[in-house]
A and B are shown apart, each in its own frame.
Chain A
Amino acid sequence: MLQTIIQNAVDAISLGSLFALTALGIGLIFGVMRLINFAHGDFIMVGAYALIVPSAADAAMMFIGAWPAPILVISIISVLIVVALASERVAFRPLRTADPSILLITSFALSFFLQNLVLMVYSGRPKGIPLWPNLIKPVLVGEIRIPQLHIITISVTLGLLILLVLFLKRTAIGIQMRAASEDFRMAQLLGVRGNRVIAVAFAISGLLAAVVALLFVAQTGTLSYKMGVPLVLFAFVATVVGGMGSLSGAVLGGFVVGIASVLFQAILPADMRLNDDAWVFGLILLILLVRPTGLVAVKALQERV
């Protein structure tokens, strides 16, 4: 009994970690430019596809995926930083002053573009790729079997969160970024360079997307051009539940959504388990009705009456 509880808890925290990292990528960009970047999930997807040789063949040939781990990680991160910066430059920069709904639709269009580009190059069939297959093997902690990957996911997330907090609190550009999230116009007037802050935010979101891509592929072992969609959907919901515009809220929301998914999966009777997403969204609806500003409310976004 206790064993199942702990195993479920580890599952939940591990899934929550992935959602939290994705939600952070969305939250960072939303903070500085009020853009809800739906294409973030497709950044993750592009990062995953970069592991294999571009071809429409059924069997995937490892490309970057065959390189030694440290070089592999750095390469995927670099690829996604470039993709994120290029998206910002081409699609979002010309629209920086536009209404948030326009930015949102632009990100839909970008997402549609990236998905169809991958579809064209790699074909639509899901591909199996064994990335670091050894990590699936469980380790025994006392009586409990925990997949190594879960431990890695949780510790990488923790590490990244600590680094991000240090970055935002201790470095000049991090402080500028927080100032820009508070009031972009005011920060600009005080000498914060808008382009630089936004570019750095996109670069970090690219980095976070790369980490999620690797952890996610290692876990599922499959590639599909739509693989980013559920991730970005839950992460987006997580940022709203956590409190739009708050980074700690995004992380908290990510864990809430991840834990809720695993929890409903575990406690619902078998015939209702198929509907577990309905329960998760029902819970989200309830949280929003009780706390419309999210779990961590942000002052800068509240209406002043």
Chain B
Amino acid sequence: MSDAAMDRPDTAAVRMVAVVRFFWTPIVLALFGLAAVVIVWASGDGVLARTITDALIRTVLVIGLYIFIGNSGVLAFGHIAFMLIGGYAAAWFTMSPFKKSFALDLPPILANNEFPLFPSAVVAGLLPALVAAIVGIPIMRLSGIAASIATFAVLAIFYTVYSNWDSWTFGASTLVGIPIYVNMWIALAWAVFAMFVAYIYQQTKFGLALRATREDPIAARAAGINIPVQRLIAFVVSAFFMGIAGVLQAHFLGSLIVNGFWLGITFLSLAMLIIGGQRSLTGAVVGVTMVSTIVELLRQVEAGVEVAGVIFELPGGFQELGLAVLMIVILIYRPAGIMGGLEVPWPFGGNRRVLAGGFTIVHAERTPASE
């Protein structure tokens, strides 16, 4: 510590503010999620509780996508493969042996045991991370559209194999009997955890290096950043959360079907990320919130809304059409996504819009002499 640093009033309060300021974005996002859950919990509306649980699981999913796509700028199409792997792994670990015996033909260690839920969830998240680490080694050397298609090829391979792997996945049929324990609180806990990990990652030297490769790959390489290695790190972290999203969904619905991990969810999750703004964590969360809200509102309108004694009801199928139109309209008016790459701004003192990455905050706390 130099004299310059000692001179500053370094009280606990100042340090506290610095920490809060550092974590401002995930704190605000987490409080926002908590507020939503508390309101729904207080209202006691069961349908709404399911909707918000679903949205929180999607939040984990889209943050998972964001960790790789947002930081690297590589539009990956194949991430749903990791959700698929995580979801089915959760089923292998946690279904009761009795229920497994109906549908699956697993090796004895899995067939005869039923593992505790939380460790199973973590291991089921680590499995896709391991897969990502292996398939990522060759794929992360690719850039641009070739990388997108290569990751998609991985999804296509896993999708096809899981569709036909009768003894482990019950083929293309629906696998039922997975313990249901995920409610909105558990989904919220994982979503908040994902927010903090994603935010901390993007502030580490690894996250910053990867963001540098996103902005200018050639300059980043010239500065000594190993692009494939940095991408691989993000790919593995991102695969873990994709896997967790799959685990949560499995334990929320109680069933799995391979067909649910294909183009529909791929497009929807990418659309959420890009509508919110793929370049910031806030964008990822806003995208999920926005799209989930639109879907929910349209669903209610489709079911019939009463305004001044008159019931308005829209024909079936309107929900999907409305969503598609609104997505295009949002993109036309906000082509960089709703957040346009911005994080939640710090509202107290020295206020300025901090671009995603926020290195100004991190290094403002250190004087050059203390290095």
The chain A residues found within 8 Å of chain B, CB to CB, are: 36, 91, 94-95, 97-99, 101-102, 104-106, 108-113, 116-117, 119-120, 229, 233, 236-237, 240-241, 244, 274-275, 277-278, 281-282, 284-285, 288-289, 292-294, 303, 305
Contacts and interface: CB of A to CB of B under 8 A. Distances in A.
Contacts of B161: 275, 278
Nearest to A245: B145
Nearest to A277: B160
Given A36-B145, A241-B149, A281-B156, 12 more contacts: A104-B75, A109-B325, A109-B327, A116-B324, A117-B321, A120-B316, A233-B263, A240-B149, A275-B160, A288-B149, A292-B143, A293-B146
B320 interface: yes
Closest 9 CB pairs of A and B: A120-B317, A113-B324, A116-B320, A278-B160, A98-B335, A281-B156, A281-B153, A109-B327, A285-B153
Contacts of B271: 105, 108-109
A237 B149 contact: yes
B65 to A, nearest CB: 12
A145 to B, nearest CB: 31
B321 A116 contact: yes
A49 B307 CA distance: 37
A101 B75 contact: yes
Nearest to A304: B218
Contact of B274 (A102, A119, A236, A289): A102
B218 to A, nearest CB: 6
Contact of B146 (A98, A288, A303): A288
Contacts of A98: 331, 335
B218 A305 contact: yes
B164 interface: yes
Interface string B319-330: 011011101100
A99 B336 contact: yes
B331 to A, nearest CB: 5
B153 A284 contact: yes
A106 B150 CA distance: 22
29 contacts: A91-B328, A94-B332, A95-B332, A101-B75, A101-B278, A104-B75, A105-B275, A108-B267, A108-B270, A109-B271, A109-B328, A109-B331, A113-B320, A113-B324, A116-B324, A117-B317, A117-B321, A119-B317, A120-B315, A120-B321, A241-B149, A244-B145, A275-B160, A278-B157, A281-B154, A284-B153, A285-B139, A288-B146, A303-B143
Contacts of B164: 274-275
Contact of B331 (A36, A105, A237, A305): A105
Contacts of B157: 278, 281-282, 285
B260 interface: no
B160 A95 contact: no
A95 to B, nearest CB: 6
Nearest to A115: B320
B138 interface: yes
Contacts of A119: 317, 320
Range for the number of chain B residues in contact with chain A: 35 or more
Contact of B156 (A102, A104, A108, A278): A278
A112 B332 contact: no
Interface string B56-84: 00000000000000000001000000000
A102 B218 contact: no
Contacts of A101: 75, 274, 278
Given A120-B317, A303-B217, A109 B324 contact: yes
Contact of A292 (B142, B156, B267, B275): B142
Among B145, B149, B336: residue with most chain A CB under 10 A: B145
B12 to A, nearest CB: 45
A288 B149 CA distance: 9
Contacts of B331: 95, 98, 102, 105-106, 109
Given A105-B274, A281-B160, A113 B150 contact: no
Contacts of A105: 270-271, 274-275, 327, 331
A275 B161 CA distance: 6
A292 B146 contact: yes
Contacts of B149: 236-237, 240-241, 284, 288
Nearest to A121: B317
A147 to B, nearest CB: 27
B146 A240 contact: yes
A31 B141 CA distance: 25
A303 B320 CA distance: 39
Contact of B335 (A102, A229, A293): A102
A48 to B, nearest CB: 19
B122 to A, nearest CB: 28
Contacts of B75: 101, 104
Interface in B220-277: 263, 267, 270-271, 274-275
A120 B317 CA distance: 6
Contacts of B323: 112
Interface string B124-148: 0000000000000011011101100
A9 to B, nearest CB: 25
Contacts of A116: 317, 320-321, 324
Contacts of B217: 303
A98 B337 CA distance: 11
A282 B149 CA distance: 11
A240 B321 CA distance: 30
Nearest to B152: A237
